[in-house]
Every structure is written in structure tokens, then in C-alpha cells.
Amino acid sequence: MNAPVTTNNLDAFWMPFTANRQFKKNPRMFVGADRMHYTTSDGRQVLDGTAGLWCVNAGHNRPRIVEAIQKQAAELDYAPAFQMGHHKAFELASKLVQLTPPGLDHVMYTNSGSESVETALKTAIAYHRVKGDGSRFRLIGRERGYHGVNFGGISVGGIVPNRKMFGTLLTGVDHMRHTHDLARNAFTREVPEHGVELADDLERIVALHDASTIAAVIVEPVAGSTGVLLPPKGYLQKLRSICDKHGILLIFDEVITGFGRLGTPFAPDYFGVVPDIMITAKGLTNGVIPMGAVFVTNEIHDAFMNGPEHMIEFFHGYTYSGNPMACATALATLETYREEGLLTRGAELSSYWEDALHSLKGLPHVIDVRNIGLIGAIELEPIAGEPTKRAFAAFLDAYEKGLLIRTTGDIIALSPPLIIEKQEIDFIVDKLRDVLTSLN
Ligand code: PXG
Ligand code: PLP
């Protein structure tokens, strides 16, 4: 007989990217959230040091968003995504392309970062083919890259445990080296000095496979999930110029960096390098309703607008692409960002944030502190033979002390909602100091 389904029965739900057995012995449950804080099931307040999973950029329970969802549900709950439209999908697209860098003026909707990645990779390969260049099929990613969990994304990605269980993956993929170099760049503030030459890996890969076989290069402008790896000075510029030289599309995966996380609306506004395809999700809807968006240049879009007009131009899309509930949520999110200046608020706070984080230098086990915009990372020396254990202990202790952080490997990652105030930055750093001081 099946066990009764109650909230006390934790067995049925196989949780994602979670130590299930550890969690179920001692569950950590949230029952509410408002602005910067969660309420736990035992009635405590926990400061959200990670904006959920890098997505709740405007903080929790924002009135415009709540109201928009309630209204939309009663007005138009669903509209078919294929061969039919609804106004908010077009309104949102028009508003989004005003925010994105000039030239990235067309957008396709998805439901997650992972789907945005698949959409971008497929678009890149198909673009070359519609231009009559079907021999360009290879995709180049980077070691330690995270591009979601679907087959295309893990193929171009470079996080070993996310890949090694899943067979042959996509063929025709190659990887550049990652840019993390503690020997030369430890305790750098914002962009590190050393490592621009790592972009030359792309030239080597081109020399090996020949440019005529390569469709696209995909990178996170700042690698998030793997533990916050920053691009060295000049690195992204160099990737851009190598791509231009060889007719290769450059894809930025901005699932984390998009929507204000770097103190600018998107990474091109920070680095001055514009990709051909830009992948987003997370902050697009403040994490509240699942949605992603993939931006492409006019040139890419226009290349598909050929053939008989009654024909579908691109055989791709999802049941929920541009779902009315998601579009209403995204519109309310953009309005909240605009009213409160949140897409550039990170820039105002970043030097305070930087100084606060770097004050942790010198504490036990801390081998690096790095930051950019409202992202921070503290890298810990792993316990010999037991990687991840030290950081996980820090995560559990911080949670008990009222602070939610993320850990990946032995790196603590921080990415608070962009509405954070200075005293809340102080709270984060004070708690971390307590945690790190008492860590084994
Ligand atoms: N690309 C990038 C660059 C991401 O960071 C995805 C794609 C996939 O998005 P979805 O919506 O399919 O999860 C991501 C997601 C963490 C963490 O703590 C990071 C992500 C997701 C969950 C946790 O680092 N990144
Ligand atoms: N599997 C089946 C059997 C389907 O019919 C569909 C969509 O119609 C899908 C998967 C894809 O679902 P989605 O469009 O939500 O990605």
C-alpha cells in the first residue's frame, strides 16, 4: 500500500541537485518569503544571500508581480504557442529588445535556462545551414562551463559530474580551457589581470578542426555555477575577434549575468563585447514563473525569413513558449526593475560589497575572495581527501545562523537580491565571519 501523502512524507519527491538522504533526515523548509528574507518552517527569518538560485533579483513578494499574476490568471490563462498569439508576448518582446544591446533585436521564448541553451545551439547550427553553410556544425564550449542539464548543454558544458554519467553526449564538441588561475589572480577585485592568452585556445581549436566546421562558441561571460570564475582583462574581446575572423557565432550564456547581476543590464554593457546570441532566464521573471528568452541578431533572424510565406521558418518551440502567465510576470518584473533602478543598482553597491567581502581575507581556509557586480565568491581550501565537505558544513552552519548561501565544490557563492541594503551586506559578511572562524 502507498504511504499517505502528507508534508511529513518526504520520500516521493526525488529532489534536484540535492543530497536527498541528508536533506530528508534533517529537512530545511521554507514557508514564506518577503523582500530579502525567507521564513522557515520553524519560524525563523533567513536572509536570502543567493536571490533564490540567482534569480529573485527584485527580492520576494513584489506587489506588481503578485498582482500581475493574479490578474492574468483570470483574464487569459493559456494561449497556444504555435500559429496563435496574444498581446503580452509581443509587448514583452518589444520591451526586452529595447533593453538588450543594439542589434540583438529578436527574441525566442523558453521556460528555463537549459531550454534557452538548447534553443541557442540549435539556432546557431541551423543559421549556418539556411545560409548554405551546412558544414558548420561544431560547437565549442569551455571547461567548467555550466549551460544547464539537457544534452546539448552538458555537451558544451564542462562540469565533470554533470557529464560523466550520460554516455557519448553530442558529437562534434570541443572545449577551451577555463580561466581560473589562483596562482596569479587570487584576491582580485572584479576582473583579473592575467589570462587573456587563454582565449588563444580558440585559435588552436580552429586550427585543429578548421573554421569551416565550427558553428558557434558558447561561454558564460562570468561563469557562475562552477563557483564564479571571472574573465581576465581582454579575454572576451579576444574571443569576439577570433570569432569574427573565422565566421563563428559567439553565444553568451547570460542566465546568471543577465538582468542586473553585474551592475549593468547585461554583460555586453559591462564588458563592451556583444555576442550574436544571448541566452537568458532566471531574472527575466524574477524567478517567480519559469521563463527564458534567447536573443539573436537581425542577421540571424532574417536569414530564416525565406521561402513560401505559409511555411514554418524554424522547426523549434515549446508548448509554453511565451505563456501568458510568464509574459505577464516578466512585464511586471521589468516594470519593478525600471521603477527601482535595479538593473544598475549593483554598480552603486559594488564597491561596498567588494570591500565587505574582501574583509574576510585572512580567515581560516580562505584561499580566495572574488567579486563582480553583486556577485561574490569565497574559495576554501578543501579538506584533504574530502572535497566539498568543508563548504557544505559552512552552508549548513550559515543556514542555522540565518543566512542562505550557495556552495559548489569548496566555493561559497553569493548573489543577493539587487534590492539589498548596506546593513544587509554587513549582516552577510558578519555571519560569514562567524561561520568561517568556527569551521573545521
Ligand atoms: N546557463 C547558465 C549559465 C546557468 O547558470 C543554466 C544555463 C540553466 O538554467 P535552468 O533554468 O535550466 O536551471 C544556468 C542555471 C548555482 C545554480 O547554484 C546555478 C544554476 C541553476 C541552479 C543553481 O550555481 N544555473
Ligand atoms: N513529449 C510529448 C509526448 C509531447 O506531446 C510534447 C509536446 O507536445 C513534448 C514532449 C514536449 O513538451 P514541451 O512542448 O512542453 O516541451
First to last CA, the chain: 45
Whose CA is closest to 373, among 292, 256, 202, 287?
256
All cell numbers assigned to 50? 543567493
Task: Please give the domain boundaries of the chain with CATH numbers for all domains.
Answer: 20-61+341-437 (3.90.1150.10), 66-340 (3.40.640.10)
Contacts of 408 (CB under 8 A, 6+ apart): 225, 226, 227, 391
Contacts of 257 (CB under 8 A, 6+ apart): 220, 221, 222, 224, 266, 267, 270
Pocket lining for ligand 2, CB < 6 angstroms: 318-320
CA distances from 110 to 43, 116, 295 (A): 36, 6, 11
* pLDDT for the residue 27: 96
CA distances from 70 to 73, 95, 196, 295, 332 (A): 5, 22, 49, 28, 12
Q: Counting runs of H as helices and runs of E as strands, what totals does the chain give?
A: 16, 15
Which of ligand 1's atoms lies nearest the C-alpha of 223?
A: 3
The mean per-residue pLDDT over the stretch 11-36 comes to 97
Whose CA is closest to 378, among 421, 347, 407, 416?
407
Residues 162 and 146 sit within 8 Å (Cβ to Cβ): yes
CA distances from 239 to 124, 219, 247, 274 (A): 17, 10, 12, 11
Please state, in angstroms and rounded to a whole number, the distance separating the CA atoms of residues 171 and 201: 19
Q: Is pLDDT above 70 for 8?
A: no
Instruction: Look at ligand 1, atom 10, and give the residue with the nearest C-alpha.
Output: 113
Residues 418 and 260 sit within 8 Å (Cβ to Cβ): yes
Q: Is pLDDT above 50 for 336?
A: yes
Q: Is pLDDT above 90 for 196?
A: yes
pLDDT tens, residue by residue, 374-399: 999 999 999 999 999 999 999 999 99
Cα 320 to ligand 2 centroid, rounded to whole Å? 10
Cα 252 to ligand 2 centroid, rounded to whole Å? 27
Q: What is the dihedral of CA 146, 149, 155, 160, to 10 degrees?
A: 60
Pocket lining for ligand 1, CB < 6 angstroms: 53-54, 112-114, 117, 146-148, 220, 224-225, 253, 255-256, 281, 406, 408, 413
pLDDT tens, residue by residue, 80-92: 999 999 999 999 9
CA distances from 422 to 43, 354, 380 (A): 25, 12, 25
Q: Is pLDDT above 80 for 6?
A: no
Residue-wise over 209-229: b if at least 16 C-beta within 10 A, else e?
A: eebeebbbbbbbbbbbbbbbb
SS3 430: helix
- The chain-wide mean pLDDT, for the chain, equals 97
Please state, in angstroms and rounded to a whole number, the distance separating the CA atoms of residues 233 and 212: 29
What value, to the nearest 5°, has the Cα angle with vertex 270 and ends 267 and 272?
A: 90
* pLDDT for the residue 7: 56
* pLDDT for the residue 1: 46
The mean per-residue pLDDT over the stretch 103-111 comes to 98
**Mutation to probe ligand 1, out of 15, 54, 151 (largest number of atoms < 8 A from CB):** 54
Contacts of 39 (CB under 8 A, 6+ apart): 30, 31, 32, 33, 45, 46
pLDDT tens, residue by residue, 262-316: 999 999 999 999 999 999 999 999 999 999 999 999 999 999 999 999 999 999 9
Please state, in angstroms and rounded to a whole number, the distance separating the CA atoms of residues 250 and 365: 38
pLDDT tens, residue by residue, 244-268: 999 999 999 999 999 999 999 999 9
Residues 43 and 404 sit within 8 Å (Cβ to Cβ): no
* pLDDT for the residue 440: 84
Q: How many CB atoms lie within 10 A of CB 438?
A: 11
What percent of the chain has pLDDT above 90? 98
Please state, in angstroms and rounded to a whole number, the distance separating the CA atoms of residues 147 and 170: 14
**Mutation to probe ligand 1, out of 15, 53, 116, 286 (largest number of atoms < 8 A from CB):** 53
Residues 86 and 75 sit within 8 Å (Cβ to Cβ): no
pLDDT tens, residue by residue, 150-171: 999 999 999 999 999 999 999 9
Residues 93 and 108 sit within 8 Å (Cβ to Cβ): no
CA distances from 86 to 26, 93, 324, 325 (A): 45, 12, 7, 11
Please name the amino acid found at residue 88: K
